[in-house]
Structure 1
Amino acid sequence: MELGVHYANFTHPDWSTKLADRLTETAKVADEGGASLFTVMDHYFQMENLGGPPEPMLEGYTTLGYLAAVTENVRLSLLVTGTTYRRPGLLAKIVTTLDVLSGGRAMLGIGAAWYEREHLGLGVPFPPTAERFERLEETLQICRQMWSDDDGEFVGRHYHLAETVNVPPTVQRPRIPILLGGSGEKKTLRFVAKYADACNIFGESAEIVAHKLDVLRGHCDTEGRDYDEIEKSVIYSGDASADSDSFLATMERYGELGISLVTTMPGGDDPVAWTTDVCERVLPRLKEL
């Protein structure tokens, strides 16, 4: 099983002077230590459970562009892009730019968005849930078209693009991988089966993950998609360093279900030390699962 490091919290001691250095060193440790994915969030404001708007939050794709220059191996993604944050043609161009400048290490992690307060705070429209999923589906269609040989028009219910030109093209072929975040059974997992290369499911319990994967398999059958070609991942909310035995036991159960990657967040006040410990002590055992 592979490891993804999800850098969600910038509020560490002396963050006003050390935020950039700490983020940089954590990404380098993950990159050199064998992690396969490094992600940050796509938010304007920090989430409420991590302190809310008074706490620091960096813009996601600017951050990934910077990290592309200080890493060499690790895949880079947002976990996950909110579909309401950027127009889809611009989003495809942004992720293409990340792919080109990183030498083919970009992934489009995307979801329907949920954090209404930050949208209202910065004046960004926040449509109802049903419309956000409609926009998400069109965004997926637009990105796939822009990452293909078709540079013609796109006409959808919410978006109209006269020319889906995208030069330079993506480094990765046939296109940049798409990961959908979330566990919604009616739409999110259906979109995974129809459009995505990977899913990221909330790691609530082995029983719930097993159920969600069964739902995904059903959608794959409906869409005529090969279930086995989709990368299955979970996000783990516990501390993989402080309680590594419990973490690895849980991952063993997930691995038996077909999960091949776990994303987890640094715990404590020192993400560099946490990432160093996990890469040196826990990751070798994780890779054996």
Structure 2
Amino acid sequence: MISTELAARRQAGTLKLGYCVPAFAMPSPGLFRVPNVARIEDVDVLGNAREAERLGFDSLWVCDHLMLGREQAVLEGWTTLAMIAGATSKAQLGLIHQANLFRAPQIAAKMMSTLDLLSGGRFIHFFEAGMGRPEQVAYGLDWDDNHDARVERLEEAITLIKALYAADQPIDFDGKFYQLSGAQLAPKPVQSHIPVWLGEAFDPVIELSGRIADGWNSTPVTLTELARRLALLDASLAKAGRSRAEVEISFETQILVAHDLATLRRKVAALVERMVETKSGEPQPEVTDFVAGRVDRLPEAMTGPWIIGTAEDAKARIVELRGQGVDHLMLWFMDAPDTDGMAYFMEEVAPGFR
């Protein structure tokens, strides 16, 4: 499905900007993920989402995990997204890597249809075959160690969901993994076609993306790796008789933007302080040197895949990403839940890409 809106954005050179809502506390050692707090209970999750929409972010995203972050404390994704849908009115809404194996797809179809209806047609279906064995097993949920089989199951789930959306009468479904008998989905979603996004560069996912995806997302990688992944996607699309004109390209990454180098040092120092305080790891020597002022550049492990630096640094990186064909940025603000970083970004960086 070729989107005239997407084509117009590409012609104008503009981007959509997504805000990843902090729904967990500091994660595993060594990672500057969001938010910069020790307890998720201390985050005003709905307030952050409302502020992001007020600032002009086009989409709002919630992670889909059962265990994540410090003390494995993460808010359940669907519940959180439903609350955000009720607290906002304009931004598109989605779960990041919505886990097929967390919910029966026929029930997920009902949930997605309901949320799309009640939110006025704002839902994006970003689907995932399932990457997190530990949380699946811990919660007693079905799991298959064979990734290819999980992707096969994902495709069948998408087929089932689309069949429920399309049918005006009760339907039967007799698949390899899922069966329905006289199931009917009513009411229908507002959108006649809820966009389906897939992600990552595993061969079976790339192949499936080439055949059916409306959007494709990459997690944080260097520009070189992003180009490699997009080449794989292009080859898969060509094999399916499609082109990138039909697929919205999303890039998900961490971001830390500051007015100047001194402010950036203070922000990174606060992240390091939280890491040490919570005993969640030790900073890299290069990061310690940056905080102490001994060097003026952060390590490549951070600057390569992330957007980090001054407003000018951020603009330059986004120009490079747009040059690779990125249409939609999904941003994890490293200084969240503080909102000054995202406000500065929307004031000083975003206008050049809107």
TM-score using structure 2 length: 0.73
Amino acid aligned to 1:190: E
Preserved contact between residue 29 and residue 275 of structure 1 (Cα < 8 Å): no
Of 156, 163, 166, which aligns to 2:182? Answer: 163
- Cα distance change of structure 1 residues 123 and 169 upon mapping to structure 2, 3 Å threshold: same
Give distance in 1, aligned partners of 2:22 and 2:116: 22
Preserved contact between residue 129 and residue 151 of structure 2 (Cα < 8 Å): yes
Partner residue in 2 for 1:10:
24
Preserved contact between residue 314 and residue 349 of structure 2 (Cα < 8 Å): no
Preserved contact between residue 109 and residue 161 of structure 2 (Cα < 8 Å): yes
Aligned-residue offset at 1:15: 4.2
Give distance in 1, aligned partners of 2:341 and 2:205: 32
Partner residue in 1 for 2:297:
none
Aligned-residue offset at 1:218: 1.4
Give distance in 2, aligned partners of 1:57 and 1:280: 30
Give distance in 2, aligned partners of 1:240 and 1:135: 40
- Cα distance change of structure 1 residues 221 and 274 upon mapping to structure 2, 3 Å threshold: same
Q: 1:218-250 CA deviation, whole Å, 9 max, x = no partner?
A: 111221224202100111134245523333222
Equivalent runs, 1:116-265 vs 2, <5 Å: 116-128=133-145, 129-149=147-167, 151-173=170-192, 175-184=193-202, 186-241=203-258, 242=264, 243=309, 244-265=311-332
Amino acid aligned to 1:201: S
Number of aligned residue pairs: give it: 278
Preserved contact between residue 183 and residue 202 of structure 1 (Cα < 8 Å): no
Of 19, 28, 33, which aligns to 2:55? Answer: 33
Of 106, 117, 123, which aligns to 1:106? Answer: 123
Preserved contact between residue 88 and residue 139 of structure 1 (Cα < 8 Å): yes
* TM-align CA RMSD: 2.0
Amino acid aligned to 2:217: N
Of stretches 117-126 and 98-107 in structure 1, the one that deviates more from structure 2 is 117-126
Q: 1:138-172 CA deviation, whole Å, 9 max, x = no partner?
A: 11111222222365222221111223421010101
SS in structure 1 opposite 2:171?
Answer: coil
**Does 2:349 match 1:282?**
yes
Preserved contact between residue 25 and residue 272 of structure 1 (Cα < 8 Å): no
Partner residue in 2 for 1:88:
105
Amino acid aligned to 1:260: D
- Cα distance change of structure 1 residues 271 and 75 upon mapping to structure 2, 3 Å threshold: farther
Please list every run of at least 4 consecutive aligned residues from structure 1 whose deviation after the TM superposition is greater than 6 angstroms.
none
Preserved contact between residue 20 and residue 60 of structure 2 (Cα < 8 Å): yes
Larger Rg, first or second structure (1 or 2): 2
Give distance in 2, aligned partners of 1:18 and 1:224: 49
Aligned-residue offset at 1:55: 4.0
- Cα distance change of structure 1 residues 263 and 144 upon mapping to structure 2, 3 Å threshold: same
Aligned-residue offset at 1:179: 1.0
Partner residue in 2 for 1:43:
65
The gaps in structure 2 that reach 5 residues or longer are: 1-14, 26-35, 259-263, 265-308
Partner residue in 2 for 1:115:
132
Preserved contact between residue 193 and residue 225 of structure 1 (Cα < 8 Å): yes
Amino acid aligned to 1:142: L
Give distance in 1, aligned partners of 2:156 and 2:240: 17
SS in structure 2 opposite 1:163?
Answer: strand
TM-score using structure 1 length: 0.89
